[in-house]
Structure 1
Amino acid sequence: MMNYDKDLLLQELQQQQFESELISRRLARNNFRDFIPHIRPQYSAQWFHEVIADKLQAVYERKIQKLMIFVPPQHGKSELSTRSFPAWILGRSPNTKILIASYSSTLASSFNRDIQLRMDDEPYLALFPDTRLNGSNVVTVSTGGTLRNSEIFGVVGHEGFVKTVGVGGSLTGTSVDIGIIDDPIKDRADAQSLTIRESTWNWYTDVFETRLHNHSAQVMILTRWEEDDPAGRALDRDGLWSSTNPYGWHVISFPALRTKDQSQYDPRPVGAALWPERHSQEKIEKVKRDNPFTFNSMYQQDPKPSEESLVFPNWIEIDEMPHCDSYFNVIDFGYSIDPTFIGKVGRSGRNLYVDEIAYTPGLMNPDILDLFHAAGLDANIQTICDRAERKSVDELSAGYYKPDGVKVAGINAIPSEKGPGSVIAGISKLNEYTVHYTRRSRNIGKEVRNYKYIMLNGKPTNDPIDRWNHAMDAIRGGVWTIYGKPPVEHKSSATRITVQMRSNFGGGGPARGGRSW
């Protein structure tokens, strides 16, 4: 009788385990958040991982077509979005074509191998028996069978695949249903390089996006090193999703320490750590004290420098340019990829007002004059230009003839002056005023938020970083030229007049190649 009871109890336990396994499999097939613990029981899933998983599932279901995920480093973002999500998608829909890109082909290939490992595991095979990979390594289609290597693998008997590539790699002939970009920029040094930011963005627009179709979805996961990173540019171009902007981005961001902004998916109190068991509040606050740049970008996903590092932390954004007592214009000439900045500056008492007219790379001198006149700027008031471009200053003053013989009038262009210490003198002079810039001056606003001093041991030096300063250089040079020196009295035979001292216009650097007409 006792043995019978034991056998019956064992059968009941086995039945319960079997039913529990069936429930677990059903949940894992239907819900990505349940898939992770089913195939990776060692993964320590946190509340925010469940939020990310639900958003990724919404991408698969096309409730979300463009998703950005900002999470601090070592918080499990790639495990979810890049290693496990593609495997779950191919289990559900083995005909899906998936592209994964990262800053290097080596990292992209590691994602490829990790996905394959998950799909070869017994728990996965039990979940999705119809999704199989080739049993052997297949490098090219010429060897026969479904491809399987470190760059691309396909699902046997189906059209789906995962292709991985480093940013800059070729995607010719690849049509993509879901594209995932995981950390397109390696580190801060690369993020601060305008050349790398430009090449990464060009690859995204010219290569990655051209592989998408009307029903494609994309996911971008990255650390926000710079405001001008790929995510920043995409948000600037496309905006946030709304009912009136269906092509915008859905963004979920988890700062390492909870900020004051309200978020429906973040239940933490202000200041609390995101994953205290792994990255304590004390540890992150030490990063904040020791390196505010790293704290703001890597940990808070808010790529703004600390206020003490900003050259102009107190500039004020206003709606429109007001009427001013006096005006002048400013121009900073661009080079191959640097923008030419054209702006209008007004002064009333100790207030300066700045309006952005143009911030465009590749402009020739005729283009500058055309933009100047099209904006309705007064050609008779002084326009302060970069003194290193004396030849361009002369040509802007002279005007030019169109091919049909029509003369385009020149402007009152004069080269800028530089005070003692040049940059520092101009910054000091600007700081004597309260400076306002119009809301439409988007690039001035970006420079204000990014023009920084070089930091040494966490403290600002007196030397600005030579970056994010095209508008700043123009405004600084114009203000010093107009207001930098006190008036000096000169006697003449007829009367005593007060004039603004001007330095010799000589000393300009070489003209820019190819800018002349």
Structure 2
Amino acid sequence: MLMDAKELYVTQRMAQEDFYFFTRYMFKARKKSKWVRAKHHKIICDALMAVFRGEIKRLIINIPPRYSKTELVIVNFIAWCLGKVPDCEFIHTSYAANLALNNASSARSIVQSDEYRQIFPHVELSKVSSAKGDWHTTDGGVVYATGFDGTITGFGAGKMREGFSGALLIDDPMKAGEARSEVRRQSAINQFQQVLESRLNSPDTPIIVIMQRLHENDLSGWLLGGGNGEKWEHICLEALIEKPDGTKEALWPEKHSVEVLELMQEAAPQVFAGQYQQRPSTKEGNIFKPDKIEIIDAMPVGVHWCRGWDFGATEGGGDPTAGAKLGKMPDGRWCIAHVVKDKVGPGAMEQMFLNQAKEDGRDVRQRIPQDPGAAGKNHAAAMVRSASGFSVVAKPVSGDKVLNAEPFAAQVNIGNCVMVRGEWNAALKDEMRLFPNGKHDDQIDACSQAFNELNDNTLGLIEVMQKQLEEMKAKKAA
């Protein structure tokens, strides 16, 4: 950016003293576009400046996903602090090591930029250590990044002296799908207690935890409940603000309008309550709203079909085997066309699958689950071979059942799903109402298999909702 001497001086002073200005300035320099302002950005930046001034030692920020948390709290805050105090020592962790490394690399890219040198000309990177997740300044500053469960031996955050000298920055310590596991939640708490807290070089070294709420007893909940015995400053940012007069306001209307947020809330109330409203609940149930499903009499045409399968274990008293045929209609709605279900043994199960594949025809893809281990792979391969000539895919089933079902449930809950009339309708709806607390969930698992296959299994709940909203906007515009 070309500036005359006066402009450069003013820009330097503002960027050096105002973290939010620095962030917006560097964003425009890096991305070649203006930062879209939101009031919660200013709230976060003011809190981070209070951390830098030593007014806040322990900070928790609960914020919806994709609301600029990492850009502000990790990438730009590290760069700005190193400009102010070039020998700062930072440790940064996130649930995935590659995310933490990328964040540290982005901060390094800022420090290396010409625009940054105009603001902080005295900061230089050391050539001795310049890895993505382990880089230094020539003044002794350190940025070390690793996965939340990673090794941090030999590294510390902050220094034993007065004034700001670094921080421990924790960004999303746990994946959303892991939060239902008590073992994983406790593991995150243990890692914080037994490893991360011991990496502070001074009791006054700040700790910042920024995350979406996932469970009442996640790391945020544990810390706010006095888990480590310290008092935490808490910034809680709800995506949909309910005002005293009963009206509603969007936290970031340019990102999500009130209308969009209410649709997301309707589609996935539990996910929305935790990740977007920061009010998680351990209460299960009400994942599906089957009364939103429209019953139709004629099979729609022009549909891409897939039958998903959930194989039962034993004949008689065990879990049933179920196959659900789903398709996406030309107008964007989803159709549940047929469900087959029976309690059968292994041999009869394979015959049931083959008979149904023949009845469906070659145009209907069949997706079967692949259990872990060599035996699971061999069984899936044998099933694929038995249906030679048909489109059959075998994919590992991973993650939590509820998490796998949520993208499909979102479509049901917003009334974007129809069902062809059949004697199986009532049983499927009953299973939906009780899920995940019912005795059986085989039909739901089969529906999720088919839905995720047609959805390419690459879009999670939030991405599915965003895609759905874009399609709805396009329809309105037309």
- State if a TM-score over 0.5 links the two structures: yes
Query: Aligned pair 1:205/2:178, yes or no?
Result: no
Offset of residue 173 of structure 1: 2.3
Offset of residue 269 of structure 1: 8.4
Partners of 2:438 and 2:277 in 1: how far apart?
A: 23
- The one-letter amino acid of 2:241's match is R
The equivalent of 2:10 in structure 1 is 23
Q: Output one character per residue of 1:92-111: Cα deviation in whole Å (capped at 9) or x when no partner.
A: 00111101000011111110
- Aligned pairs for 1:72-471 (under 5 A) are 72-134=64-126, 145-156=127-138, 158-177=139-158, 178-187=167-176, 189-212=177-200, 213-238=202-227, 247-260=230-243, 270-304=247-281, 309=286, 460-461=433-434, 464=437
Report if the CA contact (8 A) 1:293-1:305 is conserved. no
> Residue 203 of structure 2 aligns to a residue in which SS?
strand
Q: Output one character per residue of 1:455-474: Cα deviation in whole Å (capped at 9) or x when no partner.
A: 975564176389xxxxxxxx
- The one-letter amino acid of 1:257's match is L
Partners of 1:227 and 1:194 in 2: how far apart?
A: 11
> Residue 204 of structure 2 aligns to a residue in which SS?
strand
Offset of residue 153 of structure 1: 0.4
Offset of residue 196 of structure 1: 1.3
Q: Output one character per residue of 1:409-438: Cα deviation in whole Å (capped at 9) or x when no partner.
A: xxxxxxxxxxxxxxxxxxxxxxxxxxxxxx
Query: Aligned pair 1:55/2:47, yes or no?
Result: yes
Q: Structure 1 269/119 Cα, relative in aligned 2: closer, same or farther at 3 Å?
A: farther
Structure (1 or 2) with the larger CA radius of gyration:
1
Paired residues in the alignment total: 285
Partners of 2:438 and 2:271 in 1: how far apart?
A: 17
Offset of residue 270 of structure 1: 4.5
* Percent of aligned pairs with the same amino acid: 28
Q: Structure 1 64/224 Cα, relative in aligned 2: closer, same or farther at 3 Å?
A: same
Partners of 1:148 and 1:35 in 2: how far apart?
A: 24
Offset of residue 21 of structure 1: 2.8
Offset of residue 43 of structure 1: 2.1
Report if the CA contact (8 A) 1:109-1:150 is conserved. yes
Partners of 2:225 and 2:437 in 1: how far apart?
A: 26
Partners of 1:288 and 1:108 in 2: how far apart?
A: 30
Report if the CA contact (8 A) 1:256-1:300 is conserved. yes
Offset of residue 238 of structure 1: 4.8
> Residue 279 of structure 1 aligns to a residue in which SS?
coil
Offset of residue 20 of structure 1: 3.0
Partners of 2:62 and 2:247 in 1: how far apart?
A: 18
Report if the CA contact (8 A) 1:25-1:38 is conserved. no
- The one-letter amino acid of 1:464's match is N
Offset of residue 146 of structure 1: 2.7
Report if the CA contact (8 A) 2:91-2:144 is conserved. yes
Partners of 1:463 and 1:78 in 2: how far apart?
A: 33
Q: Structure 1 463/52 Cα, relative in aligned 2: closer, same or farther at 3 Å?
A: closer
Partners of 2:110 and 2:438 in 1: how far apart?
A: 46
Partners of 1:217 and 1:270 in 2: how far apart?
A: 37
> Residue 296 of structure 1 aligns to a residue in which SS?
helix
Q: Structure 1 462/186 Cα, relative in aligned 2: closer, same or farther at 3 Å?
A: closer
- The one-letter amino acid of 2:189's match is W
Partners of 2:283 and 2:133 in 1: how far apart?
A: 41
Report if the CA contact (8 A) 2:92-2:168 is conserved. yes
Q: Structure 1 269/183 Cα, relative in aligned 2: closer, same or farther at 3 Å?
A: farther
Partners of 1:125 and 1:465 in 2: how far apart?
A: 61
Offset of residue 182 of structure 1: 0.3
Q: Flag structure 1 segments of 5+ consecutive residues without an equivalent.
A: 1-13, 135-144, 240-244, 262-267, 311-453, 467-517
Offset of residue 260 of structure 1: 4.4
Q: Structure 1 465/52 Cα, relative in aligned 2: closer, same or farther at 3 Å?
A: farther
Q: Structure 1 171/214 Cα, relative in aligned 2: closer, same or farther at 3 Å?
A: same
Q: Output one character per residue of 1:277-305: Cα deviation in whole Å (capped at 9) or x when no partner.
A: 12121111111111101110111111126
Report if the CA contact (8 A) 1:292-1:306 is conserved. no
> Following superposition, which runs of at least 4 residues in structure 1 exceed 4 angstroms of deviation?
305-310, 454-460
Partners of 1:270 and 1:171 in 2: how far apart?
A: 47
Q: Output one character per residue of 1:225-269: Cα deviation in whole Å (capped at 9) or x when no partner.
A: 111111111111259xxxxx9x301111111110347xxxxxx98
Relative contact order higher in (CA < 8 Å, ≥ 6 apart): 2
TM-score after normalising by structure 2? 0.56
> Residue 37 of structure 1 aligns to a residue in which SS?
helix
TM-score after normalising by structure 1? 0.52
Report if the CA contact (8 A) 1:36-1:84 is conserved. yes
- The one-letter amino acid of 1:192's match is R
Partners of 2:206 and 2:435 in 1: how far apart?
A: 46
Q: Structure 1 238/194 Cα, relative in aligned 2: closer, same or farther at 3 Å?
A: closer
Partners of 1:80 and 1:40 in 2: how far apart?
A: 10
Partners of 2:247 and 2:13 in 1: how far apart?
A: 37
Q: Output one character per residue of 1:18-55: Cα deviation in whole Å (capped at 9) or x when no partner.
A: 32331121011012112112211232222210110010
Q: Structure 1 89/307 Cα, relative in aligned 2: closer, same or farther at 3 Å?
A: same
Offset of residue 193 of structure 1: 1.2
- The one-letter amino acid of 1:249's match is W
Partners of 1:104 and 1:97 in 2: how far apart?
A: 21
Q: Structure 1 236/465 Cα, relative in aligned 2: closer, same or farther at 3 Å?
A: farther
- Aligned-pair Cα RMSD in Å: 2.7
- The one-letter amino acid of 2:175's match is K
Report if the CA contact (8 A) 2:136-2:142 is conserved. yes
Q: Structure 1 463/89 Cα, relative in aligned 2: closer, same or farther at 3 Å?
A: closer
